[in-house]
Amino acid sequence: MAKSEHYYVYMLRCADNTIYSGYTTNVERRVNTHNSGHGAKYTRARLPVKLAYMENFLSKSEALKREAALNKLSHAEPLFLIETSNTQSKE
């Protein structure tokens, strides 16, 4: 029987108020990895980061497509998505 995994696309608000997006199977672990300085090169210079937004997908393919779409948004669009979502920032 195949393992049922969920895939998440997330956006982080960095200390310099920029937005970073990525995908993972475990959001809490990934945010901790970023904040420990072992995440993406982009976030290492902008610590600490806070979870600002996430979406859940059943396939890795769909999550990666969504991440690519988020990365193509203008600067204001991710901010609007974050502000209008129900995701609470982890303080």
pLDDT at 67 over 70: yes
pLDDT tens profile 14-37: 999 999 999 999 999 999 999 999
C-beta neighbour count of 12 within 10 angstroms? 27
pLDDT at 80 over 80: yes
Is residue 88 within 8 Å of 53, Cβ to Cβ?
Answer: no
User: What was the pLDDT predicted at 5?
Assistant: 84
User: What was the pLDDT predicted at 68?
Assistant: 97
Q: What is the 3-state secondary structure of 18-78?
A: CEEEEEECCHHHHHHHHHCCCCCHHHHCCCCCEEEEEEEECCHHHHHHHHHHHHCCCCHHH
Mean pLDDT of 3-13: 88
Q: Domains of the chain, with CATH numbers?
A: 7-84 (3.40.1440.10)
Mean pLDDT of 32-57: 96
User: What was the pLDDT predicted at 2?
Assistant: 52
